[in-house]
Chains A and B, each alone.
Chain A
Amino acid sequence: MWGRPNLYTSYRAETSLLPTWTQRVAMAMFVAIMVLLPFDLPVINQLPFVRFLGDQDWLRIVTQAVIFGIAALGLNLLTGVAGQVSLGHAFFMGVGAYSAVYLGGSPGSGTWGHELPMWIWLPGAGLCAALVGMIVAPAAVRVRGLYLGIATVGLVFIGIHLSRIFPEISGPSETGRSWPGLELRLWKEEDPLVSFADSGHWLWFDIGGGQKTYLVCLLLLTVTVLVSKNLIRSRTGRALQAIRDRDIAAEVMGVPETKYKLIAFGISSFLAGIAGALFASFIGQLPPESWDLLLSVEFIAIILIGGAGTVAGTLMGTFFVVMMPRFMEEAARWMSEQSESGGPAGTFWDSVVSRGDDFGVVATTDIARGFALPTNSLDSLIYGALVIVFLLFEPLGLYGIWLKIRNYWKGWPFTY
């Protein structure tokens, strides 16, 4: 309603996804930008912040962020909405990835694979992971809180070990095996109907492989966003939130705990499995060690930095955490360029950047000595520090910051 955005006349209006016209227009623009982003369009590539995203090189990172977004939304449902601490998300992603390679991969010397088409292996990966998740779920009824979190750490280690025992599925332990590509076939015919990884021609446009992959992943992410948004505002979502806030009270009010924990684990690991399969297929080849505890911690960091329990926050957190290493690299390159330019600014940046043995904080080499840190260390340092800072000062994460900004303008000129 114009002018009175907080006046709701029905429950339906209050729980709608985009209650006001401002939000609808903003969302439409955002979706349009996300869809048009990979193309070198005259208007989009002039926009100040998204200009670089048209770059093919950046597109890979953005695609990875989109894929991780699917998994992060899954963990958000489990940890943020249902309140079940899980450090085993990487394990479920691994289950999905290996189911995908078992169903869709090509059999080789000593490796198994059935060469099934993508419309089988992608849902199959999700379903296998969901099945494993639902086997784990009853444990969450018995084992609570931090004990559950630590028990799921065990899952990750056991998972990595299992994938090392079965080279038939995971391939050689150093390199891993190659995953099936993102190609749509009806059955096992030679030429795929659509290959998302090849350059080609769609409708009136020439379109590159990276752009197609990005669009497919974006479509899947959009579906995931809609599913989790709708789930949160439905009966199931309310039940999950009741279990998170006070499990006994929820049970007393007639929310069957086991059933809803089963649902939470099932959906969460389904999404993790899909994301794992997509990610592995996108990268092409991954060793078993990729699904380790650090990946799980990364997802926990994503939902905490973004804002636990919120869909928008989770997406913000994903893009932030996944793209930060790249930003760090670019920043380091920029700094070292500045330091070579000379002048007072050059001297300043020269004291920040280290090239081997001289003093500095940021090293341009991979292995640095003394105080300097190479960029790949710097970003894990910064992301650890960010987790600490956000938990200490802004428990709602990036979403909380956004809320503060929004409320400031909403209430202006009053403070609240």
Chain B
Amino acid sequence: MSLLATLIAQTDEATAAGLGTVAKLITALGRGLALGSIYALLALSFVLVFKATQAVNFAQGAIALVGTWFLSMLLVNWRIPARWLGDDLARNRYLVWVLALVAAMAMSIALGLIIERSIIRPMIGEPLFAIAVLTLGLEAVLRTVGNDALIGQQRGLRIPWGRTGFEFEGAFLYWTYIGAIVTAAAAFVATFLFFRTRTGIAMRAVAFDQEASMAQGIRVGRVFAIAWGAGAALAVLGAIFFSMSPFGNGVAETGLTSLAFRALPAVILGGLDSVPGALIGGLAIGLAEVFAGVYLAESTGTLGVGYQLVVPYLVMLLVLFVRPYGLFGTEEIRRV
């Protein structure tokens, strides 16, 4: 955490120093939107899982860590897409990377499905708190395994476009920013479209009332599986973009488990069960974090190194006081 904090603080200070007003604003906007999109992806994964299974999955970050490890193994150690494509096609870095990404996401979806079937399904009907704590236990297990797999190694992610970017109005924007924003936009559009399909409507029904929807012939188990699979895939996507962007180190690293805890304010801000809330909460938290980092960089001495990492939590606490169920969360109807 502290290493991450120092890293982020350095990037923000470097961004803020010696830029014109417009360039500074554009840099901050680019960084903020990119980080916000990453948070939004993770928030969406939280929201989908919560909507379907009423579980806050604290293990989302650990699943994401394992997913980035899958990607790195596929690209570097097993060379799976490259080996099968033949020499000519394997020279196309973009193709290899995208295929490996798809494979890694498929593997994480499988992981999510296994988790759902083996330990979440038997917990149906238990208190929400018990399920949340269960995922904390799962987080400990996955984090330990992930740490052990990653320890003492530089697991590169072989980003095809590397650390390149373009100049815009004097501000430097990385391609990864654009990638993260586009991916998040695509994910949210896909989710909105998904909720119009038959399965999507089934998921909304399950979110509303599990028993009643089961009585209507909806296969609740399948809805659970879809939510957990999609949740795992989205979390991995978010983590991959995070580690590729200047926020991360371009490698799969153990610090990624904390990413889920950094995305929690976004989830709470938007409301635990609201898809638009995940988008708005993610962007708001990302922008708040980056703008605080860029514009308050002079007062780092008073605020302390890595203060921008605390900004999301402060925003979250303030919003919770005003709106206890987040901005768009469904208020729980309390009955005796």
Chain B residues with Cβ under 8 A from A139's Cβ?
A: 317, 320-321
A161–B324 alpha-carbon span in the complex (Å): 24
Give the residues from 20 to 58 in chain A that come closer than 8 angstroms, CB to CB, to chain B. none
Contact partner of A301 (CB less than 8 A), chosen from B137, B332, B335, is B137
The reply on A209 being an interface residue by CB < 8 A is no
A392–B122 alpha-carbon span in the complex (Å): 7
Give the residues from 356 to 376 in chain A that come closer than 8 angstroms, CB to CB, to chain B. 367-368, 373-374
Contact partner of B137 (CB less than 8 A), chosen from A160, A377, A391, A395, is A391
Give the residues from 264 to 321 in chain B that come closer than 8 angstroms, CB to CB, to chain A. 264-265, 267-268, 272, 302-307, 309-310, 313-314, 316-317, 320-321
Number of interchain pairs (Cβ within 8 Å): 142
Chain B residues with Cβ under 8 A from A164's Cβ?
A: 2, 304-306
A292–B148 alpha-carbon span in the complex (Å): 21
A367–B152 alpha-carbon span in the complex (Å): 8
Contact partner of A387 (CB less than 8 A), chosen from B137, B307, B310, is B137
A301–B316 alpha-carbon span in the complex (Å): 25
Chain B binding surface SS class: helix
The answer to whether A384 touches B138, judged by C-beta atoms less than 8 angstroms apart, is yes
Instruction: Given A151-B320, A293-B261, A392-B119, check contact A161 B145 (CB 8 Å).
Output: no
A173–B324 alpha-carbon span in the complex (Å): 35
Instruction: Tell which of B133, B264, B302 has the most Cβ of chain A within 10 Å.
Output: B133
Q: Which residue of B lies closest to A390 (CB)?
A: B137
Q: Which residue of A lies closest to B317 (CB)?
A: A154
The answer to whether B334 touches A385, judged by C-beta atoms less than 8 angstroms apart, is no
The answer to whether A151 touches B316, judged by C-beta atoms less than 8 angstroms apart, is yes
The answer to whether B268 touches A145, judged by C-beta atoms less than 8 angstroms apart, is no
The reply on A381 being an interface residue by CB < 8 A is yes
The answer to whether B304 touches A246, judged by C-beta atoms less than 8 angstroms apart, is no
B306 nearest CB across to chain A (Å):
7
Chain A binding surface SS class: helix
The reply on A271 being an interface residue by CB < 8 A is no
Contact partner of A153 (CB less than 8 A), chosen from B129, B130, B264, is B264
B182 nearest CB across to chain A (Å):
29
B181 nearest CB across to chain A (Å):
26
The answer to whether A388 touches B137, judged by C-beta atoms less than 8 angstroms apart, is yes
The answer to whether B137 touches A147, judged by C-beta atoms less than 8 angstroms apart, is no
Chain B residues with Cβ under 8 A from A173's Cβ?
A: 2
Give the residues from 138 to 166 in chain A that come closer than 8 angstroms, CB to CB, to chain B. 139, 142-147, 149-151, 153-154, 157-158, 160-161, 164-165
The reply on B172 being an interface residue by CB < 8 A is no
The answer to whether B261 touches A248, judged by C-beta atoms less than 8 angstroms apart, is no
Residue interface bits A287-317, CB-to-B below 8 A is 1, else 0: 0010011000100110010000000000000
The answer to whether A147 touches B268, judged by C-beta atoms less than 8 angstroms apart, is yes
The 6 tightest CB contacts between A and B, nearest first, are A384-B140, A387-B137, A154-B313, A165-B304, A384-B141, A381-B144
A-B CB contact pairs (8 Å), 23 listed:
A139-B320, A144-B324, A146-B56, A147-B320, A149-B129, A150-B268, A151-B268, A151-B320, A153-B261, A154-B265, A154-B313, A157-B309, A161-B310, A164-B2, A165-B303, A165-B307, A247-B334, A301-B133, A373-B144, A381-B145, A384-B141, A387-B140, A391-B134
**Which residues of B approach A to under 8 Å, CB–CB?**
1-2, 56, 119, 122-123, 126, 128-130, 132-134, 136-141, 143-145, 147-148, 151-152, 261, 264-265, 267-268, 272, 302-307, 309-310, 313-314, 316-317, 320-321, 324-326, 332, 334-336
